[in-house]
Chain A
Amino acid sequence: MDQIENSHDEFELISFCIGDQEFCLDIMAVREIRGWTQATPLPHSPSYVRGVINLRGAVLPILDLKTRLGLGVTEVSPRSVIIVVHIGGRLVGLLVDAVSEILATTKASIQPTPNVACDTVNRFVRGIIALEGRMVSWISLDHILPEQEAAEAA
């Protein structure tokens, strides 16, 4: 996942909103961004699994990133989007409130995640990027899928 070899090499992140917080993902992990489609719910699955949708013939699981991060349940609006990402060999859709922009940054400008004694933050946030007074949390996808599968998917 970590494709940055030199701390001064510029790389790109895609930023998005969940509630009033800003997050971002390595753009290399993103395959496409699409609008929201009603998902077919999966039985016996964690609350953050919204279900599955048809992505051009493939069955794509949709995770509510807001729920996954412990921030509540996403209220789907016309601005809601699904960010389709590669995680290991899988394609997974992440439901977020809105996509904002593409950020160019360097490894050097990323700050380590402050220890806020929150398990969710520790597991899903790789680092913090300070940007013109805003703070963007860099999401790690390594543990996004349900636990028992993470090892296999990685």
Chain B
Amino acid sequence: MDPLESIKVTFFQECDELLADLEAGLLALESGQGDSDTINAVFRAVHSVKGGAGAFGFEPMVKFAHVFETALDAMRSGSLAAETDTLKTMLRASDVLADHVQAAKGQGAVDEARTLTMAEELAALTAPPETALGSVAPMGAAADEPPTDEWGFRPLKMAIDGPAEDGDGWTLIMRPKAEMYAKGDDAAILLRELGRLGPCEASFEDSALPEFDFLNPEASYLVWRVKIPGDVAEAAIRDVFDFVGDECPIDLTRGEAAALAPGPVAPVVDIDALLQAAKAETAASAPKPLAAAAPAPSGEDPAAKDSAKAPGPGAAATIRVDLDRVDRLIDLVGELVINQAMLQQRVGESDLARSSTVAIGLDELEQLTREIQDSVMAIRAQPVKSVFQRMPRLVREIAGSTGKQVRLVTEGENTEVDKTVIERLSDPITHMLRNAIDHGLETPEERMAAGKPAEGVVRLAALHRSGRIVLEVSDDGKGINRKRVREIAVNKGLIGADAQLSDDEIDNLIFLPGFSTATVVSNISGRGVGMDVVKRSIQALGGRISISSQPGRGSTFTLSLPLTLAVLDGMVVTAAGQTLVAPLTAIIETLQPKPGEVRPLGPRGAVLAVRGAHVPLIDIGVALGWRDIPIDPTAGVTLLVESEVGGRAALVVDAIQGQRQVVIKSLESNFQRVEAIAAATILGDGRVALILDVDAVIDARFLERIEPVSLAKAS
């Protein structure tokens, strides 16, 4: 990659971090938790975005950031109070700034009118009211700021000046002060720089130089006179002294006029000799490393040695690694796991005794392999914070567009999950939050009428539960209107008018394809997506989603996902002669049905009595189309599985081979999604085994039970 492009990538990454810091800081200030450090950090965030934007020439971003920075600077200096209204304005400004960053990334366009309005609002924060109402546009003000100024260091711009005036050169007299040397500058360097402008003649006057015994090595005694060709521009000469200011006063005149007064002028010497002389003076004024009082030279400094060994006390023990390398490592470990399983199988098939050294060594290898795998996966684990951080803005925008008052509470943002999963969390969370505010929360008026605070609370929480990550989005709104949901489902032909459904089943109807309670497709995140799409995208990740609701008290969406999309703990089973893997998380228990527990239901169906409840029996061989006639459940084994939606089912398989951790291989990368199959894996015998999508298998059953109309159409 072009190095500049890669730096741009870094800039955008940094912008995302800075914008998150900015928002977090402003929110902290708003809740009264911030202090002057917070204000400084917030200022720095905008300042850094501006600096980077300038480097890449993102002018509109620079201008807006400048206005923003000015307001924050006023807050930093105390002339602007960190009041709630001000902070709300700044939060919105941070959203606009984020839009600019997105636009710079090439993702979306900037709303110029919004930017202008926002900039005016920001400017009004620091300007007296009458000025703010005046005609001076703040964006204009920012634009008026000279792109260059006296700090600018431009050696090239003065190459064009009047024609050379022969014989009428410049005479420069410079009187460096000791302070100049104290700042690491040097007369020798100034002379060298002047020498670059053209052939110069320099001389010095040393009348102030004391006898050597009285010489103060840190004082400055010499006055220099330099003759510079007339065709050198005055600005170029003055530019050389740009840094030194009045610590090296100069007199610059045309012609020979100015003589070094007082005292006689030393004979004219060539510039090299002068440089030597100047260097001698520098050497005298430089610290004396050999003096007894001075610290030892750096090479022998014990402290320096220590720091050279350790990367310094402040440096955290982290490194940045290209994700590709980590992914490659994870792939390799996946291969290792498969190979280890193959080896184990071969040894198992051989006649080696279980107590043989080979078998024992193999057990240790398995342990090690598992540990390596866990460690490697941990490298890619990230806190969900990066996703959660994007949500306050979303909530503000949805609140703004719906006229609802919302407070977002987040919990567990340090919960870690594999990077592959984290990238895909954003969309479902976005939809669930939108749903919670759009459909869950009431308007402030409705809430007050119901005796609730006008401001609704939406809670977003992450936690680990039995090897999965669970995300919950709950609101304290009105809860699901079950009567209405049921009506819609009946009207759309999703369920029969006489279907007997539990409250939970009614609530979960909202996930059915074709169901959407929104009468108007809302435009909040740019597209209206039904909960069925959300559900499908989550299932594609091996996840589950469910909703629970209490009328008048609110609803909770619960989303559970595997911690990684790389490995899975599975039950290896045989069905219709094929080896399959069922995710362990879906399995409640395995059962060996007795004849009395299996009861026919309808022409083809059967149920299994499990402790008083009846669950549908599903023959996996039939469900996958590998055989037409189900086997006798009492001759096989059943897996009692649970789906969030359809409750429980008993999956009939021929036999169980055992539990195993398997490496997940995508079917989609070379083929396509296959119905009822979540993914594939490679087993110890080197063959591909399919991983069952338990929810999809049960869902089909669930639909069959409550959806007689569509099923009739389908068959």
* A–B interface present (Cβ within 8 A): yes
- Chain A contacts to B: CB under 8 angstroms: 38-45, 51-54, 57-61, 90-92, 145-146, 148-149
Pairs across A and B, CB under 8 Å, 15 listed: A41-B626, A42-B671, A42-B690, A43-B674, A43-B675, A43-B676, A44-B675, A51-B688, A52-B671, A59-B669, A59-B670, A59-B671, A92-B671, A145-B671, A146-B672
Besides the contacts A40-B689, A43-B624, A91-B670, what 15 more A-B pairs have beta carbons closer than 8 Å? A40-B680, A40-B687, A42-B677, A43-B623, A43-B625, A43-B690, A44-B625, A54-B688, A57-B331, A58-B670, A59-B665, A59-B667, A60-B670, A61-B667, A61-B671
Residue B369 is within 8 A (CB to CB) of chain A in the complex: no
* Complex-state Cα separation, A130 to B554, whole angstroms: 74
A61-B625 contact in complex given A40-B689, A43-B677, C-beta closer than 8 Å: no
Shortest CB-to-CB span from A44 to chain B, Å, is 4
- Chain B contacts to A: CB under 8 angstroms: 331, 334-335, 338, 578-579, 623-626, 665-667, 669-672, 674-677, 680, 682, 686-690
B residues in contact with A90, CB < 8 Å: 669-671
A residues in contact with B680, CB < 8 Å: 40, 52, 59
Residue from A41, A54, A146 with most neighbouring chain B CB atoms (10 Å): A54
Shortest CB-to-CB span from A64 to chain B, Å, is 14
> A41, A52, A148: which contacts B667 (Cβ < 8 A)?
A52
Shortest CB-to-CB span from B578 to chain A, Å, is 7
* Complex-state Cα separation, A134 to B623, whole angstroms: 47
Q: Check A40 against B670 for contact (C-beta < 8 Å).
A: no
B residues in contact with A148, CB < 8 Å: 672
* Complex-state Cα separation, A28 to B677, whole angstroms: 33
The residue on A at minimum CB distance from B681 is A59
* Complex-state Cα separation, A54 to B687, whole angstroms: 6
Q: Check A58 against B669 for contact (C-beta < 8 Å).
A: yes
Q: How many interface contacts (CB-CB < 8 Å) are there between A and B? A: 76
> A40, A44, A145, A149: which contacts B688 (Cβ < 8 A)?
A40
Shortest CB-to-CB span from A135 to chain B, Å, is 32
Residue from B666, B686, B688 with most neighbouring chain A CB atoms (10 Å): B688
Q: Check B688 against A52 for contact (C-beta < 8 Å).
A: yes
The residue on A at minimum CB distance from B625 is A43
**Shortest Cβ-Cβ A-B pairs, 4 listed:** A43-B624, A61-B671, A44-B675, A40-B688
Q: Check A92 against B677 for contact (C-beta < 8 Å).
A: no
* Complex-state Cα separation, A149 to B338, whole angstroms: 30
> B334, B675, B676, B688: which contacts A59 (Cβ < 8 A)?
B688
Q: Check B626 against A43 for contact (C-beta < 8 Å).
A: yes
B residues in contact with A57, CB < 8 Å: 331, 334-335, 338, 665, 682
* Complex-state Cα separation, A60 to B680, whole angstroms: 10
Shortest CB-to-CB span from B683 to chain A, Å, is 9
Q: Check B675 against A61 for contact (C-beta < 8 Å).
A: no
A59-B666 contact in complex given A38-B687, A52-B680, C-beta closer than 8 Å: yes
B residues in contact with A149, CB < 8 Å: 671-672
Q: Check A41 against B578 for contact (C-beta < 8 Å).
A: yes
B residues in contact with A52, CB < 8 Å: 667, 671, 680, 688
Shortest CB-to-CB span from B466 to chain A, Å, is 28
A residues in contact with B666, CB < 8 Å: 59
B residues in contact with A51, CB < 8 Å: 688
* Complex-state Cα separation, A97 to B670, whole angstroms: 23
A residues in contact with B686, CB < 8 Å: 54
B residues in contact with A146, CB < 8 Å: 672
Q: Check A44 against B674 for contact (C-beta < 8 Å).
A: yes
A61-B687 contact in complex given A41-B578, A43-B626, A43-B677, C-beta closer than 8 Å: no
B residues in contact with A39, CB < 8 Å: 688
The residue on B at minimum CB distance from A44 is B675
Q: Check A40 against B578 for contact (C-beta < 8 Å).
A: yes
Q: Check B626 against A44 for contact (C-beta < 8 Å).
A: no
Residue from A42, A60, A145 with most neighbouring chain B CB atoms (10 Å): A42
* Complex-state Cα separation, A87 to B677, whole angstroms: 23
* Complex-state Cα separation, A38 to B577, whole angstroms: 13
A residues in contact with B335, CB < 8 Å: 57
* Complex-state Cα separation, A59 to B681, whole angstroms: 8
A residues in contact with B688, CB < 8 Å: 39-40, 51-54, 59
A residues in contact with B689, CB < 8 Å: 40
Shortest CB-to-CB span from A47 to chain B, Å, is 11
A residues in contact with B667, CB < 8 Å: 42, 52, 59, 61
Residue from B331, B338, B670 with most neighbouring chain A CB atoms (10 Å): B670
A residues in contact with B682, CB < 8 Å: 54, 57, 59
B residues in contact with A145, CB < 8 Å: 671-672
A residues in contact with B676, CB < 8 Å: 43-44
A residues in contact with B670, CB < 8 Å: 58-61, 90-92
* Complex-state Cα separation, A2 to B83, whole angstroms: 66
A residues in contact with B334, CB < 8 Å: 57
B residues in contact with A59, CB < 8 Å: 665-667, 669-671, 680, 682, 688
* Complex-state Cα separation, A107 to B682, whole angstroms: 42
B residues in contact with A40, CB < 8 Å: 578-579, 680, 687-690
Shortest CB-to-CB span from A151 to chain B, Å, is 12
Shortest CB-to-CB span from B440 to chain A, Å, is 36
* Complex-state Cα separation, A42 to B677, whole angstroms: 9
Shortest CB-to-CB span from B555 to chain A, Å, is 34
B residues in contact with A91, CB < 8 Å: 670
* Complex-state Cα separation, A38 to B686, whole angstroms: 11
The residue on A at minimum CB distance from B673 is A149
A residues in contact with B624, CB < 8 Å: 43-44
* Complex-state Cα separation, A130 to B523, whole angstroms: 60
The residue on A at minimum CB distance from B672 is A149
A residues in contact with B674, CB < 8 Å: 42-45
* Complex-state Cα separation, A20 to B674, whole angstroms: 33
* Complex-state Cα separation, A41 to B667, whole angstroms: 12
A residues in contact with B626, CB < 8 Å: 41, 43
Shortest CB-to-CB span from A85 to chain B, Å, is 11
A residues in contact with B672, CB < 8 Å: 145-146, 148-149
B residues in contact with A44, CB < 8 Å: 624-625, 674-676
* Complex-state Cα separation, A54 to B579, whole angstroms: 14
* Complex-state Cα separation, A40 to B667, whole angstroms: 12
* Complex-state Cα separation, A51 to B674, whole angstroms: 11
* Complex-state Cα separation, A43 to B680, whole angstroms: 12
Shortest CB-to-CB span from A147 to chain B, Å, is 11
* Complex-state Cα separation, A151 to B623, whole angstroms: 29
* Complex-state Cα separation, A79 to B89, whole angstroms: 75
The residue on B at minimum CB distance from A61 is B671
* Complex-state Cα separation, A59 to B626, whole angstroms: 20
Shortest CB-to-CB span from A114 to chain B, Å, is 33
Shortest CB-to-CB span from B675 to chain A, Å, is 4
